[in-house]
Chain A
Amino acid sequence: MATETQTPVAAPAPSGGVGQRAWLFVSLIALVLLALAPFVIYPVFLMKALCFALFACAFNLLIGYVGLLSFGHAAFFGGAAYVTAHAAKVWLLPPELAILLGTLFAGVCGAAVGALAIRRQGIYFAMTTLALSQMLFFVFLQAPFTGGEDGIQGVPRGHLFGLLDLNDPYAMYFTVLAIFVGGFWFIHRIVHSPFGQVLKAIRENEQRATSLGYDVSRYKLMAFILSATLAGLAGSTKALVFQLATLTDVQWQMSGEVVLMTLLGGIGTTTGPVIGAFLVVMLQNYLATTALPATVVIGIVFIICVLVFRRGIMGEIGHLLRWKL
């Protein structure tokens, strides 16, 4: 039984302000590094990593803060990529509108998939999302506009707001960076809003949240739609970066990959999914140039992660520093 005398040890009250300032400081450094990075590192690699980082953050919103493991997020990511690619290439829409359409599409799909899936819990929830995303995969495989096995290639990047020529790699990079930072900040705000607190309460104990008067399903659905929409934003952006939308992005393996990134970085941490995404993309890029089979190596890394640091990289570091990362 905890007694009154034990409690003062763990009062982190004064560290609240310091933590916030430290956060700001770290964020600033990270921003400066990301702004300087394309002059040192190949921009396309960075853009790919940023797109996946946003994807993983969107996924983490659901698993980390509501405790829902979706196994169908590829449908939103890849589906949005198709819509954006089609809008830019065939409808000749400017990039901002193409991205907006793709993101909206993901949101609508998210509403439909979410409304069905949140009725079930645990493995049944995961399997429902997987089944529905496989149906969407089939649609993208068969629909005439997606180009089947070839996908949509040669998507024009266009001019952002009619001004900024995105064919310039730096212009494209900073656009992607802005989208990533915007998305990341938005997720951060969601998590720390009263809405986010209800989500955390639901993750912890659904029945308790219900008996306080919360309609748990509505909150779950909202979180699902937000997560799908942001995953779509990431997919749309990626389509413009690579000027390409293919089946790879809607396949179930992609749903698995985002689980891996989030787990590796740390579920329920703010920065973990970003670190996880960078790590996986880095490994994939590096392994592609060697004779080692990428899936096997990443599989081994995953097993090590699960066995040795179960909280994920940032989760473990945060635990050691007693700091929320």
Chain B
Amino acid sequence: MLSVRDLTGYYGESHILHGVEFQIAEGEVVTLIGRNGVGKTTTLRAILGLLDRQEGSIRLQGEEILGLRTDRIARKGIGYVPEDRGIFASLTVEENLLLPPVVKPGGLTTEEVYGLFPRLKERRKSQGTKLSGGEQQMLSIARILRTGARLLLMDEPTEGLAPVIVQQIGSIIAELKRKGFTILLVEQNFHFASGVADRHYVMEDGKVVDMIPNDRLEAEREKLQQYLGV
């Protein structure tokens, strides 16, 4: 589905990514984990072409997308849930939901989306700003399910949320996996990540340094704790 090779990325003069490499197969849920500031968010932004400069290769279903304009990349079928959730405050929940363009056939219908997120249906006339953090997060995920994007990039969807909401987000990700979405997740909450993902890529200093399948987690716990510095 997605194959990233030798990806380097810059913000202005600062060199953040130093040759990131990883692959995701169709239908997988994969996380990028690592300490703060190792380049996880930057990697997601690089996939979408949002950095000042990026080099290397990013292939989506075999097609090179590095170097394309951000809106073109999104239209190839990549849905992005940014760290700040990216809800438009001047639009209502429903307007936010219907805003992203449908880029490919096969997306969920609005009714199916509301079926996954009944809370959003209740609040569909509310202003984007009037939502709680959890509702904003759900809206941010919900709105890209309509578009037909099959690869979802999620940047810390559980950050700052109450445990109940984190659980809900977890079951939604599991449901999306069942529906065949491919998901790349940036996560600090390792407990959460281990509950939803198939594999984990560990990042350090702008590079992927290790890959741990979810079923090897227990065995590799010690190594992992070293990586994460816990």
Give the B-binding residues of A (Cβ under 8 A).
1-4, 6-7, 10-13, 16, 194, 197-198, 200-201, 203-205, 207-208, 210-216
Contact = CB atoms under 8 A, between A and B. Distances in A.
Contacts of A11: 123, 125-126, 130
B120 to A, nearest CB: 12
A13 B70 contact: no
Contacts of B133: 1-2
B95 interface: yes
Contacts of B89: 204
A213 B71 contact: yes
Contacts of A211: 48, 50, 70-71, 74, 80, 82, 86
Contact of B131 (A7, A13, A215): A7
A313 B144 CA distance: 38
B41 to A, nearest CB: 13
Contacts of B86: 205, 208, 211
Interface of B: 48, 50, 69-71, 74-75, 80, 82, 86, 88-91, 95, 98-101, 103, 123-127, 130-135, 143-144, 147, 160, 162
A36 B133 CA distance: 51
12 contacts: A7-B132, A12-B126, A13-B126, A16-B125, A201-B91, A205-B86, A208-B88, A211-B70, A211-B71, A213-B101, A213-B103, A215-B69
Given A212-B74, A213-B147, A214-B71, A1 B160 contact: yes
By CB atoms of chain A within 10 A, which of B91, B130, B144, B162 has the most? B130
B74 A10 contact: no
Contacts of B80: 211-212
A215 B71 contact: yes
Contacts of A10: 126-127, 130
A7 B99 contact: no
B125 A212 contact: no
B125 A216 contact: no
B99 A13 contact: no
B88 A2 contact: no
Nearest to A15: B125
A181 B144 CA distance: 38
Top 4 closest A-B pairs, CB basis? A213-B74, A13-B125, A10-B130, A212-B100
Residue of A12, A16, A204, A213 most packed against chain B (CB within 10 A): A213
B99 A207 contact: no
Nearest to B87: A208
